[in-house]
């Protein structure tokens, strides 16, 4: 479990979306909102993103929030894992309807405003277990029902960007950025990640 910290205030989805668009712009990518009304009855990802050399990718933005167990006054690892896996499942459905053949890479952009929900939690959710520094497994979620349901969903997403954020005076700042590729690796997605890292 994670110890409870002071209350975290979250900006609205439009502010988060605009901050992510600006993040890509700073890295020489051009991001624009995909308008749902242009694709009636179809699930769509949030952004269409072009690279400076004409490449293309689609991105969905998720901003998970930690929910406090009021009785225990703590955050549960199982709740965190479940939420991350739920968002992966949602994003995969959007990508499957919009980019079914995976012609261009699918990116999932995570934005967290709570330091207790960070890229380490993402890695644990991705692996399905929590390991101690010596490699021993402390908690194993790989056989949990929710994990089994989303195993195929993880394979739909080519890359993940984890943005740790602060929100003060109406401004969002990304102070930590981590990049992850799916295990079987999409070479185009890998190249885009390199471009993002180069332009930091």
pLDDT tens readout for residues 44-83: 999 999 998 899 999 999 998 876 666 655 555 556 777 8
Q: What is the DSSP-derived secondary structure letter of residue 103?
A: S
- Give the residue from 80, 103, 199 showing the smallest Cα distance to 158: 103
Q: What values do phi and psi take at 140, rounded to 5?
A: -120, 120
Q: What is the pTM of this model?
A: 0.88
Tokens of 132: 């101690």
Band (4; pLDDT cuts 50, 70, 90):
very low
Q: Is the pLDDT of residue 87 over 80?
A: yes
The more confident residue out of 95 and 114 is 95
pLDDT at 61: 97
The bridge status of strand 171-181 relative to strand 159-168 is: antiparallel
Taking CA atoms, 114 is separated from 36, 117, 121, 125, 190, in Å, by: 29, 5, 12, 17, 28
Tokens of 115: 């330091």
Domain boundaries, the chain: 2-63+70-186
The more confident residue out of 160 and 72 is 160
In CATH, the number for domain 2-63+70-186 is 3.40.1350
The more confident residue out of 13 and 8 is 13
Tokens of 191: 């190249």
Band (26; pLDDT cuts 50, 70, 90):
very high
Q: Is the pLDDT of residue 3 over 50?
A: no
- Give the residue from 62, 174, 150 showing the smallest Cα distance to 107: 62
The more confident residue out of 126 and 62 is 62
pLDDT at 74: 54
Averaged confidence pLDDT in the chain: 86
The bridge status of strand 159-168 relative to strand 106-112 is: parallel
| Contact status, residue 20 vs residue 31, Cβ threshold 8 Å | yes
Q: Which helix (H) or strand (E) holds 127?
A: helix 119-127
Tokens of 80: 């965190």
Tokens of 76: 């549960």
- Give the residue from 118, 14, 99 showing the smallest Cα distance to 57: 99
Q: What is the mean pLDDT of residues 34-51?
A: 90
């Amino acid at each position: 479990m994670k110890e409870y910290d002071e209350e975290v205030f979250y900006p609205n989805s439009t502010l988060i979306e605009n901050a992510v668009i600006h993040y890509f712009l700073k890295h020489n990518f051009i991001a624009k909102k995909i308008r749902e009304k242009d694709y009636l009855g179809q699930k769509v990802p949030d952004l269409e993103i072009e690279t400076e050399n004409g490449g293309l990718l689609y991105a969905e933005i998720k901003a998970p929030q930690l929910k406090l167990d009021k009785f225990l006054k703590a955050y549960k690892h199982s709740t965190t894992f479940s939420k991350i896996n739920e968002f992966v499942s949602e994003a995969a459905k959007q990508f499957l309807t919009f980019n079914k053949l995976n012609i261009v890479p699918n990116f999932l952009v995570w934005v967290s405003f709570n330091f207790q929900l960070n890229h380490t939690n993402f890695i644990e959710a991705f692996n399905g277990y929590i390991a101690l520094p010596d490699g021993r497994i402390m908690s194993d979620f790989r056989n949990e029902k929710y994990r089994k349901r989303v195993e195929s969903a993880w394979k739909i997403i080519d890359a993940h960007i984890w943005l740790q954020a602060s929100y003060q005076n109406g401004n969002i700042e990304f102070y930590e950025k981590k990049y992850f590729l799916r295990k079987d690796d999409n070479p185009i997605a890998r190249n885009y990640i390199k471009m993002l890292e180069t332009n930091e």
